Chain A
Amino acid sequence: MRCAEFEPWLLEHAEGSLPEEKRPLLIAHLAECAQCRQTLADLQSLDHTLSREIRKPQLSADFNERLWQRIRVETGGAAPTQLPLERVSKVRAEYEAGLRALRRGKILAAGLIDALGLGLLVGGFAYALYKHLPEFLKYNLGLREWGGLDIPVLAAGCAIAFAIGVLIRDWLKPAGQRSLF
Chain B
Amino acid sequence: MDANDPVASIPRDTQQSAEDQLHRHLAEGRYREAFEVLVAEYRDRIFTLAFGILRNEHTAEDMTQEILLRIWKGLPGYRRTASISTWVYAISRNVCFTELKRRAARATVSMSDPEIQDKVDSTVSSQMPGGELGHALDVQALLGKLPEHYRRVIVLFYLEDKSYNAVADMLGIPLGTVKTYLHRAKLEFLKLIRMEESRVNW
Residues of A at the B interface (CB closer than 8 Å) are 7-8, 11, 15-17, 19, 39, 42-43, 46, 49-51, 53-54, 56-60, 63-64, 66-67, 70-71, 74-75, 79-85, 87-88
Contacts and interface: CB of A to CB of B under 8 A. Distances in A.
Interface string B150-182: 000011001100100000000000000000000
B158 A54 contact: yes
B74 A46 contact: no
Contact of B61 (A53, A63, A82): A63
A51 B158 contact: yes
Contacts of A74: 69
A46 B186 contact: yes
Contacts of A8: 183
B47 A17 contact: no
Main DSSP-derived SS at the A contact region: helix
B139 A80 contact: no
B133 to A, nearest CB: 13
B20 interface: no
Contact of B6 (A16, A67, A84): A16
Nearest to A73: B69
B140 interface: yes
Contacts of A59: 43-44, 47, 61, 64
Contacts of A7: 187
A177 B139 CA distance: 67
Contacts of B5: 17
Nearest to A43: B186
B148 interface: no
B18 interface: no
Closest 5 CB pairs of A and B: A84-B77, A54-B158, A53-B139, A19-B4, A57-B57
A58 B44 CA distance: 9
Interface of B: 4-7, 31-32, 39, 43-44, 47-48, 51, 57, 60-61, 64-65, 68-69, 72-77, 135, 139-140, 143, 154-155, 158-159, 162, 183, 186-187, 189-190, 193
Contacts of A54: 139, 143, 154-155, 158-159
A49 B65 contact: no
Contacts of A70: 65, 69
B6 A56 contact: no
Given A56-B159, A80-B31, A46 B190 contact: yes
A57 B183 contact: no
B190 A42 contact: yes
Contacts of A39: 190
Counting chain A CB atoms within 10 Å of each CB, the highest count among B32, B57, B65 belongs to: B65
A60 B61 contact: yes
B31 A79 contact: yes
Contacts of B75: 80
Contacts of A19: 4
